[in-house]
Amino acid sequence: MSMHDDNSGASARLGGLSYLNPAAPEPWASFIEQIERVRPYLGPLERWIETLKHPKRTLIVDVPIERDDGTIAHFEGYRVQHNLSRGPGKGGIRFHPAVTLNEVMALAGWMTVKNAAIGLPFGGAKGGIRVDPSSLSKGELQRMTRRYTSEIGLIIGPDRDIPAPDVGTNAKTMAVMMDTFSMNRGGTATGVVTGKPIALGGSLGRQEATGRGVYLCAREAGKHQHIPMEGARVVVQGFGNVGGIAARLFRAAGARVIAIADHTATLANEAGIDIPAAQAWVAEHGGLAGFNGAAPIDIEDFWQLECEYLVPAALEGQITPERANRVRTRVVVEGANGPTTPAADDVLRDRGVLVVPDVLANAGGVTVSYFEWVQDFSSFFWTEDEINARLERIMVSAYDAIWQVAQEKQVPLRTAAFIIACHRVLEARAERGLYP
């Protein structure tokens, strides 16, 4: 059963404030730097580049709730619509104690690029609340989610902006958001969020889609790098929805997952870790700590384990230049959003490490969210095999297109993905602004 079914489990996996990496720049600064790196490749569209450096709409909301003890608590929430040129906003909702406006702006910007790079008809958006959901009772969590949804209800909707799960949220959160939006509107609106439970118009395959996309990208990268999947050594940071599922798929394909880490433990086993057993442990205990199928190692040793694939699938700013200098991997496959800083990207490029960027590698989730949205509109639902086959086609063709541009322009895959995406977004922007 899904590791995301119970929000208390999701909350326990958040990692508290520890994920703020003081050695990394603010996420929005990283995003701006990534946009700047595309400037020389934009041709006449360059005159529109500032569009990408200014989120279109930024909503900050106060979310007051009555706590179970009768006191009133206030939380700060956000929904940022970075760009809507190519369609409605799309992107997840994060509940985490370290959420900031700066972070949500960057996450929304990465959604704009991701959706355009893959060719989905969406703009980019993201939202979040600065809260540790594990500190709330189920009732408090529900009241907070409902109040937040009502507050951002001003700007979301099936044809305006469609949230989905991210760190600290799950299918249950989406069910409550859908219900609140529908109550306020006076009619059921399944298409307002994706990542919903199947009973409410959710899509088969969405739960696994991000991890599946990560695995597919690794497989494609391995073809170019001549890395056989059988026996490939894999190291995964983050063992939630994305990291846990990716690790399971790597193992199922014959790879050897030799190290895994979450906010409670960093573990290694050169012989290969039994991933389903580790997932069952986390589902029961809320974290990897205590799992005896691998031995605890130091976090800094984790980053320099020799492997074929390194998969950061936790949070931003994890691969700094200092760590990039020490990694001993051939391919970094970014399950998380923004795990590699721009300066670390340069180090990895100089060291010949291939980086499959977040805006490609973790796009499987939003791709199946797109399928969910389409299915909700048509009220016609596909089988899991159909969904997985369509997901694979889209991921492989996006990978090939980005690889091609990288070869032609002699740039890293991230820059290639940004070139494709920024062209699409700015062309749409320019077309919408021109007289015939």
Ligand X SMILES: NC(=O)C1=CN([C@@H]2O[C@H](COP(=O)(O)OP(=O)(O)OC[C@H]3O[C@@H](n4cnc5c(N)ncnc54)[C@H](O)[C@@H]3O)[C@@H](O)[C@H]2O)C=CC1
Ligand Y SMILES: O=C(O)CCC(=O)C(=O)O
Q: Which residues are catalytic?
A: 126
Q: State the Cα–Cα distance between residues 280 and 288, nearest whole angstrom.
A: 10
Q: Is 55 in the site for ligand Y (CB under 6 A)?
A: no
Question: According to the binding rule CB under 6 A, does residue 247 interact with ligand X?
Answer: no
Distances in whole angstroms, Cα of residue 133 to Cα of each of 6, 15, 87, 143, 287: 12, 11, 31, 12, 16
Q: Which is nearer to ligand X, 220 or 262 (CB)?
A: 262
Q: Which is nearer to ligand Y, 195 or 222 (CB)?
A: 195
According to DSSP, the residues that pair with 66 across neighbouring strands are: 72
Please pick, from the candidates 7, 13, 257, 319, the single residue that binds ligand X as defined by CB under 6 A.
13
256 belongs to the binding site for ligand Y (CB under 6 A): no
CA distances from 276 to 1, 239, 245, 283, 358 (A): 11, 11, 9, 10, 25
Residue 116 CB, nearest approach to ligand X (Å): 15
CB of 168 to ligand Y, least distance (A): 12
Sorted by sequence, the CB contacts under 8 Å of residue 150 that are 6+ apart come out as 180, 184
Phi-psi region of 74 (alpha: psi -120 to 50; beta: other; left: phi over 0): beta
212 binds ligand X (CB under 6 A): no
Q: How far is the CB of 284 from ligand X (least distance, A)?
A: 14
Q: Which stretch binds ligand X (CB under 6 A): 148-156, 259-267, 320-328, 371-379?
A: 259-267
By CB under 6 A, tell whether 19 contacts ligand X. yes
Fill in the per-residue mask, 264 to 303: x = in contact with ligand X (CB under 6 A), - = not in contact.
----------------------------------------
For CA atoms 381, 385, 388, 393, give the dihedral sign: negative
Distance of CA 147 to CAs 66, 137, 151, 284, 435, Å? 11, 15, 6, 30, 42
For the bound state, the minimum distance from the C-beta of residue 193 to ligand Y, rounded and expressed in Å, comes to 9
The residue among 213, 223, 249, 212 whose CA lies nearest residue 234 is 249
Which residues would be at the binding site for ligand X (CB under 6 A)? 10, 13, 15, 18-19, 165-168, 210, 237-243, 261-263, 313-315, 335-337, 362, 365
Which residues would be at the binding site for ligand Y (CB under 6 A)? 90-92, 114, 164, 166, 194-195, 337, 362, 365-366, 369
